[in-house]
Each structure stands twice: as C-alpha cells, then as structure tokens.
Amino acid sequence: MQDTAQSPNQQDVNSTSNTKPEGKSMIEIDDLSFSYDQGKTNTLRNITLNVPEKQVTSFIGPSGCGKSTLLRCLNRMNDLVETSRITTGQIRIMDQDINAKNVSAIELRKQVGMVFQKYNPFPKSIYDNVAYGLRIQGIKKKAILEEAVEKSLRGAALWDEVKDRLKDSALGLSGGQQQRLCIARTMAVKPKVILMDEPCSALDPIATAKVEELITELRQDFTIVIVTHSMQQASRISDRTAFFYLGELIEYDTTEQIFTNPSIKQTEDYISGRFG
C-alpha cells in the first residue's frame, strides 16, 4: 500500500489534532524522529503525542508507516539494530527520558512489557513461562512465585483453562491460549505499560475475541499501546487512536472521533478503504 498511496498533504500533516490529551500521561513523545540508517533517512518524523495512563491507545496505518517502529522505540527494542538512532526529540515514560544514559534497556523493559504478533512461549511448562521473568529478577520463593503465576494467569483470563496442567508444556496450548500465556508472562513482572504488536493477527475469531476482552480488562491496571491493522479491532478496544502515514503522525484523537468523523481527509481515506 505504501508504494501506491499518495504523499501526505503537508497542511493536513501539520494539523494533527489533540496530540496532548487531558489527564495524566504515561508516555510523552516529543518531536521524535528516528532513523534505521545512521540518520540518512528518517523512518519516523517529528512525532509528538502523549499516551494517557491506563487507557488503550491504538496505532494504525498502512504497512511501512512507522507504527511498529514507534512501538519498538517505546521499550528500546530498536537498540538491537546497530545502525538505528533517534535523530531528534525525546520519549519520556513516567517523566523519565528512556534514552538517557543512566537508563538501562533491561530495566526499562521491566516497566514496559511487549507482546508480539506471533505468540512466542518458551519451550517450558506453563508455570515456568509465567514465572520466568520473576526468576530472572531473582525471586526464588515458591509461595511468591505460585501466587504471582496464579494472579497473572487469572489476569490473563487463562487460569480456569490451565490450572490443572500447569506443569504441561506451553507449546501444547492452542494459539489463543499461547498468546494469553504471553500476556500473563508480561503481566507477571508488573510492568506499567504493555506494548502489543498485532497481538491477534495470528488468531482465529474466538481467540481474538478473548484477547480483546482481556485487553479491555487490562486497562484498569496497565497503560496499553497496540499496533493493529484491524480498524474494527482498534474501534472495539481502544480509547484513543493515532493514524500514521509515511513516518508521520497524521491524526491522533479519541477512537470515536477518528472512526466516525476524522478531521483529516487522509485519515478518512485510509479508514474507509480509499487509499490507492
């Protein structure tokens, strides 16, 4: 789609609406530009938006628009790409510049967990998957681990389905269960933010519905940012939606506003399937 879509209209791009919603922000992205090739070209350009605490925020846009890149900036997953760098701007999570020299990526990822498109449980038991992060943190007491595993599995709406087979391999679970197990694993270390990169794209409709239901419930305790290609999913589960195109934030507003009456024509053309 990127190859055939028209270039963004500069006037529209400059009029992104409501990038700093009221209320406490968990994530503040300020004039962020990002490059994968040592600054030669910017994959993200001058992104400014605040993600409110304990809400679900969706990033939407055509493939290659930068939404997953931005998501990976939020827990410094892009550090793994040697030639990548932030060329301008800043990301603050809980008022802390996450790229400051004194912030370790490992510590950051305890606060900012991530769930991937393809569920990736470890080839271990269900119990060990959930307990993994806590053990890495040095927690060894069985009672604490058991409590955390049960709480996380309950939180991920998986407990009733697996409570009698916690020692079974996680790989024996269905796809939807494996994805919810990965969410439970992320929740176990009690992050503040959970990032989700197309978490339902490999799931059938029933498993998708269960994960969506879970995301809706998780907003009570976590700030969630989700990348999705499904307009319906974004409209069902998110409070706010950001539309990206060619590395720029085109529009950011409440989900209702974006899907019923977007301010910018490009957003409307994209969500209504008119890009081409």
Name the residues that contact another protein, by CB under 8 A.
231-232, 235, 259-262, 265, 268-269, 271-276
In the complex with another protein, the residue whose CB is nearer, 223 or 266, is: 266
In the complex with another protein, the residue whose CB is nearer, 47 or 60, is: 60
Distances in Å between the alpha carbon of 215 and those of 31, 138, 167, 225, 256?
29, 28, 26, 10, 18
In the complex with another protein, the residue whose CB is nearer, 107 or 256, is: 256
The CB-of-265 to another protein minimum distance in angstroms stands at: 8
Two tokens, residue 222? 């976590």
- Give the start-end residues of each E strand in the chain: 25-35, 44-52, 56-60, 85-93, 96-97, 112-115, 193-197, 223-227, 240-245, 248-254
The CB-of-272 to another protein minimum distance in angstroms stands at: 5
CB-based contact 170:126 (threshold 8 Å): yes
The CB-of-84 to another protein minimum distance in angstroms stands at: 32
Closest CA to 39 of 86, 72, 78: 86
In the complex with another protein, the residue whose CB is nearer, 60 or 153, is: 60
In the complex with another protein, the residue whose CB is nearer, 121 or 262, is: 262
Two tokens, residue 140? 């060894």
Backbone angles phi, psi at 106, to 5 degrees: -65, -45
Q: What is the DSSP letter of 168?
A: S
The CB-of-6 to another protein minimum distance in angstroms stands at: 9
The CB-of-31 to another protein minimum distance in angstroms stands at: 29
In the complex with another protein, the residue whose CB is nearer, 123 or 273, is: 273
The CB-of-179 to another protein minimum distance in angstroms stands at: 23
Q: Give the N- to C-terminal CA distance of the chain in Å, as an integer.
A: 7
